Structures are given as structure tokens and as C-alpha cells.
Amino acid sequence: MTEERWRIRLSVAAERDFEHILETTRETFGERQLQTYRAALIEALAALEAGPNIAGSKARNEILPDLRTLHVARKGRRGRHLILYRAAPGNIIDVSRILHERMDLARYLPPELE
């Protein structure tokens, strides 16, 4: 029996978050750290291909129904960002934002999710 893979779909806001994180990382920590953190972000996003309830993910129903987060810092990787997502029909993971762990997550969700 083959396990179905989930497709990852980033919102426009999540794509902007990704680019902003990389720009800030380069400016603050340099090119080497940019490459390291870029790999950590991509690895965390790719992990969602296993489905919305993967190990390390957390239900965030206190913010919005069916919202989940996955921390970038996993499997020995360091990081300070959370991937905010929901499962959608057709085995799709909709990533709404990628936010710093200290941010007020509810404040920065796109209006279409509320």
C-alpha cells in the first residue's frame, strides 16, 4: 500500500514571509547562514508532504479551527519560525504564513482565514 503524499501550497503572504526571512537572515547573519536557514525552511515545508498531523505539529484551534503550526526547529535544526497551515480537500496543505515564534500569530493571519 502506497502512502499518499500531500501537496504544499503557499499563500502569497507565505511566499513573502519566506523571502523576507531569507533577506533578513542574509543581512543579519551573512550568506552562509542564509543557505543553512533556507535549507531548514525548505525541509520543514517538505515534511508537510507526509500530511497535516506529522510529529511535531501542533493544533492551534485557539486561534482558528483546523489551524496547525510546525516549528522550523526540528530534527536537530535550529530556527525561530512557525509554519501556519491547514489541510484542504484533495490532499493539499495550505500554508498561510511563516512567522517568527514570538509574533502574535492571530494578528498576522490573512483575512480570508478568519
2 assigned to some structural domain: no
11 assigned to some structural domain: yes
114 assigned to some structural domain: no
Angle at which helices 12-29 and 31-47 cross, to 10°: 150
In the chain, the largest separation of any two C-alpha atoms, in whole Å, equals 47
Q: Which domain holds residue 98?
A: 7-108
Predicted local distance difference test score (pLDDT) of residue 4: 80
User: CA 70 to CA 33: how far, in whole Å?
Assistant: 21
| pTM for the model | 0.90
Interval 38-85: pLDDT, tens: 999 999 999 999 999 999 999 999 999 999 999 998 777 788 999 999
Count up the domains in the chain and report the number. 1
Query: Residue 44's domain is classified under what CATH number?
Result: 3.30.2310.20
User: CA 109 to CA 98: how far, in whole Å?
Assistant: 10
113 assigned to some structural domain: no
* Cα Rg, the chain, nearest whole Å: 14
Distance set, CA 79 to CA 10, 50, 84, 90, 98 (Å): 19, 21, 15, 30, 12
Q: Label residue 92 exposed, middle or buried (CB < 10 Å: 0-12, 13-18, 19+).
A: middle
Instruction: Categorize the per-residue pLDDT at 110 as very low, low, confident or very high, splitting at 50, 70 and 90.
Output: low
Of 92, 91, 82, the residue nearest 59 (C-alpha) = 82
